[in-house]
């Protein structure tokens, strides 16, 4: 089970990871975009972080809804609406929940990915966050079918996400600003894929207990 407190912790940890890697994300975006991904994400998750205390007692769906609204209103660029959609879909499949089973987690990850695909129209191999989120969902689903628990399923999913992230390096970008570069987008890791990997890794770290935030009671 992933508890409501762990969800808050995850958002807090993700926000601090983004802050810590702000320059790196911006450098990745400088190579194939407009050098603002770290700035965009840090602005949004600083805002999320600042409102976490006010939503501490809410159910998981309400928390995700607030995160979504905050990101949509504060993060510019392509990534704001895409992450906003991810959290909005996560909210819609967790109505009223105070904790998540492994199946709930699968539904959440699947719904978030579907939202990003519907919104951004990227396919696997287009060099976007989809190339990180999609293998994670596929691997998580396989683990669930093999009766693995949340921690083990997340470990496998994060490993698949990391591989998916590395696989973006040789890809030619077909969506977003990086696609304007054509062949020159080859040889660089996708910035949005990198932040998506951090998002999943932060969730794993909180759920397996290797990383805690000040929200741990």
Give least dist CB 18 to Mg ion, A. Answer: 14
Q: Which is nearer to ligand ADP, 77 or 213 (CB)?
A: 77
* 179-183: Cβ within 8 A, 24+ apart: 179/126, 181/32
- Which residues are CB-neighbours of 154 under 8 A, at least 6 positions away? 105, 140, 200, 203, 204, 207, 208
The 153-182 contact track toward ligand ADP, x by CB under 6 A, reads ----------------------xxx-----
Structure-token pair, residue 136 = 């994670």
185 versus 213: smaller Cβ distance to ligand ADP:
185
- Does residue 175 contact residue 191 with C-beta atoms inside 8 Å? no
Cβ contact 79:42 at 8 Å: no
The residues in 72-131 that bind ligand ADP, with binding defined as CB under 6 A, are: 77-79, 82, 116, 120-122, 128-130
Q: Residues 200, 162, 156, 17: is their CA dihedral positive or negative?
A: negative
The closest residue (CB) to Mg ion is: 33
Near ligand ADP in 181-210, by CB under 6 A: 190-193
Residue 2, strand partner residues: 100
Nearer of residues 122 and 154 to ligand ADP, judged by Cβ? 122
Of the pair 34, 104, the CB lying nearest Mg ion is at: 34
Told to check if 29 binds ligand ADP by CB under 6 A, we report yes
DSSP track, 154-182? HHHHHHHHHHHHHHTTTPPP-SSGGGGGG
Residues at the contact surface with Mg ion, assessed by CB under 5 A: 29, 33-34, 36-37
Binding residues for ligand ADP (CB under 6 A): 29, 33-34, 36-37, 40, 77-79, 82, 116, 120-122, 128-130, 175-177, 190-193
């Amino acid at each position: 089970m992933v508890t409501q407190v762990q969800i808050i912790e995850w958002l807090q940890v993700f926000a601090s990871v983004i802050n810590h890697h702000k320059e790196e994300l911006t450098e990745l975006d400088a190579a194939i975009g407009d050098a603002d991904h770290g700035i965009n994400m840090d602005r949004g998750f600083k805002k999320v972080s600042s409102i976490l205390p006010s939503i501490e007692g809410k159910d998981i769906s309400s928390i995700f809804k607030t995160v979504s609204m905050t990101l949509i209103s504060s993060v510019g660029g392509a990534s704001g609406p895409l992450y906003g959609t991810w959290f909005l879909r996560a909210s819609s499949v967790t109505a009223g929940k105070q904790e998540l089973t492994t199946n709930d987690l699968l539904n959440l990850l699947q719904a978030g990915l579907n939202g990003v695909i519907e919104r951004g129209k990227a396919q696997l191999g287009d060099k976007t966050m989809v190339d990180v989120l999609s293998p994670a969902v596929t691997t998580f689903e396989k683990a669930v079918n093999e009766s693995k628990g949340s921690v083990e399923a997340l470990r496998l999913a994060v490993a698949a996400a990391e591989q998916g992230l590395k696989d973006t390096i040789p890809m030619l970008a077909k969506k977003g600003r990086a696609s304007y570069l054509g062949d020159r987008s080859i040889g660089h890791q996708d910035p949005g894929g990198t932040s998506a990997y951090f998002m999943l890794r932060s969730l794993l770290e909180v759920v397996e207990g290797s990383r805690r935030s000040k929200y741990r009671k």
